[in-house]
Chain A
C-alpha cells in the first residue's frame, strides 16, 4: 500500500474537493440561472421565475434547431456506422501495405482542429462543387459530421473484434452458412454492444459539434449548438440558453447510465 501521512491525505482530499467544486459549481450556476428572472446572469439572484422556461418551450426556432441536430446526428451516425464497421473489419482481419496510413486517415478528422476541417469542407463546397453546379446544402453538413464520427464507431468495433474468437466464424462457414448468415447469426451478436456504443458516441459527437457546423451549415439553417452559439454571441439575449443548457446537463445522465449498463452487459457476455 501507498503509505501517506495524515497531512498528505488531507492535502489530496482538499485538491479533489477543489476539482469537484471547479467542475460542478459552474454547471449548478447554469441550472439555477435558468430560473433567474433577470436578463443577465447576475448573482445573487433577486427574483426567480419560469418565464425563460416558458419562452424556450414556445420558441419555434429552438425546436427547429433541435430537429436539425437530430437529423444531422442520425445521418452522420448511420454513415459512420457503415464506414467505421467496414474499416474496423478490414484493419482487424487483414494485414496489408499502408495499414498504418489507413488508421491515421480515420483518426485525422478528429485529431485536426475543427476549424481546419470546417474550413476545408466549406472551401470545397463553395469554391469547387458549387461552381460545378453541385449544391450539397444540408447534406454537406451531414457529410462533414460523418467524417469525424467514423473514428468513434471504428475504435469500438475494432477493440471488440480483437477480442473475438475467429474459429466461431470458421465453424459457421464449415457448416454451410453464407457470409451474410455468418455475419448476422455469429459475428454481429458478438460485437453488438460495441456497435451500439459506437453509434451512441457518434451521435453525441455530432449533436455537440459547433465549429465544423459553423462553416458547413447552409445559410439560414441552425443546429442546436449553432443556435446556442448565436445566442451567446449576443450577451443580452442569452436568457433561454440557460434553459436549454439545463436540459442538456440533465440529459447527460442518460449516456452515463447507458455506458454503465453496456459495460455491465459486456462483463456478463464474457
Chain B
C-alpha cells in the first residue's frame, strides 16, 4: 500500500494499458499528423485553387486546371516521363554493378579484402550529398579530369547533360543497392552452392539459377532507395544536368509563380513512390529493410 501512495504515476500507468499507450503515442502523432500530414493535405488542396490569369493571384477554389496541365502540357508530360526513365536507368545500373560486386565480396575476396570493401562502400554514404555532386562536377566539367584524361584516347566526356545526371544519381545511391545485395549473397547457405556444383552446374549457371532468384528481395529493397531517391531529385539535374529538367525542377520553379501547378506536380512523385512501394510490398521485401 505504501508503494501505491508513493508512486501514484507509476501505479496509474501500470494499471491502465490505454494510458501507457496514449502517453507514448500522443506526442509523435501530434507532430507527424498535426504538422506533416496537415501540411501535405494543405499542399494538395492548393492544387485545386485558381490562379487569376491577369493578376496571378491565387484564390481558393475547386478546379482541376492544374492537374489537366500535367497531361495537356507537353513539356510537363515529357518531363515526368524523362524523370521516370532516369530513375529506372539509375536503378538498373546500380543493380548491374551491385550483383558482381556482391558476388566478388562474398565468394571470391579474402576476409581482409571483404572487410576493406565493406568499409569502402559505406564510406561515401557519409561523404555528403553535395560533396558527391561537386565531385562529379569536378570530374566531368569542360576542362576537367575526364576530358583531359580520356581526351588522349580521343574520347570526350558527357559534359553536363542527362547522361551525367544518370551517372551522378547512380554515384549517389549505389551503396543503398550494393549493401543489401552483398548481405543477401552472404546469407545464401554454402551447401546450395555445393549442391549446384555437385549437380554439374558451372559458375555462371549457379549464379543464374541459384543466386539471382534468391537476390530478388534484396534487389527490390535496394531499388526502393535508388528509384525513389532518383525520382524526387532535382539538385543533380540543376548542378550537373545542363538544361535537363526533372519533376522536382518543375515543382521548385513553380512554387512561387504558380502554386497550384507546383502542388499538383508534387503529387506525381508521391503517386509513383506509393505505387512502387505497394508493388514491392506484395513481395514482402520491405519487412527485411
Q: What is the total of A-B residue contacts with beta carbons within 8 Å? A: 269
Q: Are B235 and A210 in contact (CB under 8 A)?
A: yes
Residue A70 CB within 8 A of the other chain? no
**A135 at interface by CB-CB < 8 Å:** no
CA distance A102 to B37 in the complex (A): 12
Chain A residues within an 8 Å CB radius of B25: 86-87, 90, 102
Residues of the B chain whose Cβ atoms lie less than 8 Å from the Cβ of A96: 21
A112–B269 touching, CB < 8 Å: yes
Give the residues in chain B near A211, CB-CB below 8 Å: 234-235, 248
Q: Which of chain A's residues has its CB closest to B120's CB?
A: A20
B29 and A102 contacting across the interface, CB-CB below 8 Å? yes
Which of A11, A20, A25, A105 is the one whose CB lies under 8 Å from B139? A25
Within 8 A of B (CB), among A62-89: 79, 82-84, 86-87, 89
B9 touches A94 (CB 8 A): no
Asked whether B126 is an interface residue with its Cβ less than 8 Å from the other chain, the reply is: yes
Tell me which residues across on chain B come within 8 A of A178, comparing CB atoms.
Answer: 7, 9-10
Q: Within 8 Å CB of A40, what residues of B?
A: 141, 143
Q: How far is B252's CA from A120's CA once the two chains are assembled, in angstroms?
A: 11
CB distance from B4 to the nearest CB of A (A): 11
Do residues A3 and B202 form an inter-chain contact, with CB atoms below 8 A? yes
Indicate whether B203 reaches chain A with its CB closer than 8 angstroms.
Answer: yes
Is B31's beta carbon under 8 Å from chain A? yes
Check A113–B129 contact: CB distance below 8 A. Answer: no
Is A56 interfacial (CB-CB < 8 Å)? no
Binds A, one of B61-69, B71-79, B96-104, B212-220: B96-104
A53 close to chain B: CB less than 8 A: no
Is residue B144 within 8 Å, beta carbon to beta carbon, of the partner chain?
yes
The verdict on A116 contacting chain B, using a C-beta distance below 8 Å, is yes
Q: Are A147 and B35 in contact (CB under 8 A)?
A: yes
| Pair B149/A229 contact, Cβ less than 8 Å | no
B104 touching A15, Cβ below 8 Å: yes
In the complex, whether B231 has a CB less than 8 A from a CB of chain A is yes
Give the distance in Å from the alpha carbon of A225 to the alpha carbon of B120 in the complex: 24
B32 at the interface (CB under 8 A from A): yes
Query: How many interface residues does chain A have, given as a range?
Result: 35 or more
Query: Which residues of A sit under 8 angstroms from B43, Cβ to Cβ?
Result: 116, 119-120, 123-124
Chain B stretch 112-161: residues in CB contact (< 8 A) with chain A: 117, 119-124, 126-139, 141, 143-145, 147-149
Partner of B234, one of A115, A123, A245: A115
Q: For chain B, which range describes its interface: under 10, 10 to 19, 20 to 34, or 35 or more residues?
A: 35 or more
Shortest distance from the beta carbon of B128 to any chain A beta carbon, whole Å: 5
> B204 contacts the other chain (Cβ, under 8 Å)?
yes
Please report the C-alpha to C-alpha distance between residue A119 and residue B256 in the assembled complex, in whole angstroms: 10
A90 lies within 8 A of B24 (CB): yes
Q: Which residues of B contact A102 (CB under 8 A)?
A: 25, 28-29
The answer to whether B145 and A29 touch across the interface, beta carbons within 8 angstroms, is yes
Contact of A26 among B29, B36, B171 (CB under 8 A): B171
Q: Are B203 and A241 in contact (CB under 8 A)?
A: no
A122:B255 contact, CB within 8 angstroms: yes
B96: min CB distance to chain A, Å: 9
* A256, CB-defined interface residue at 8 Å: yes
Do residues B120 and A228 form an inter-chain contact, with CB atoms below 8 A? no
Nearest CB in chain B to that of A254: its residue: B126
Tell me if A9 counts as interface (CB < 8 A to partner B): yes
CB distance from A156 to the nearest CB of B (A): 13
Contacts of A146 in B (CB 8 A): 31
In the complex, chain B residues whose CB is within 8 Å of the CB of A233? 238-239
Identify the closest chain B residue to A115 (Cβ).
B248
B13 within 8 A of A: yes
A59 at the interface (CB under 8 A from B): no
Contact present for B133 and A232 (CB under 8 Å)? yes
Q: A8-B203, A43-B144 are in contact. Are A30 and B126 (CB under 8 A)?
A: no
Residues A143-157 near B (CB distance < 8 A): 143, 146-147, 150
How far, in whole Å, are A259 and B139 apart by their CA atoms in the complex?
Answer: 30
Answer yes or no: B57 CB below 8 A from chain A CBs: no
In the complex, which residues 100-126 of chain A have their Cβ closer than 8 Å to any Cβ of chain B? Answer: 102, 105-106, 108-109, 111-117, 119-124
**What are the nearest 6 A-B pairs in CB distance?**
A113-B232, A26-B135, A252-B126, A90-B24, A4-B203, A120-B39
17 example contacts (A-B, Cβ-Cβ < 8 A) are as follows A2-B103, A2-B197, A2-B207, A13-B108, A15-B101, A16-B100, A30-B131, A105-B33, A108-B32, A116-B43, A116-B269, A117-B36, A119-B43, A119-B252, A179-B14, A255-B126, A256-B123
Which A residues fall within an 8 A CB radius of B? 1-5, 8-9, 11-13, 15-16, 18-20, 22-27, 29-30, 33, 40-44, 79, 82-84, 86-87, 89-90, 93-94, 96, 102, 105-106, 108-109, 111-117, 119-124, 127-128, 143, 146-147, 150, 173, 176, 178-180, 204, 208, 210-211, 214-215, 225, 228-229, 232-233, 238, 241-242, 245, 248-249, 252-253, 255-256, 259-260
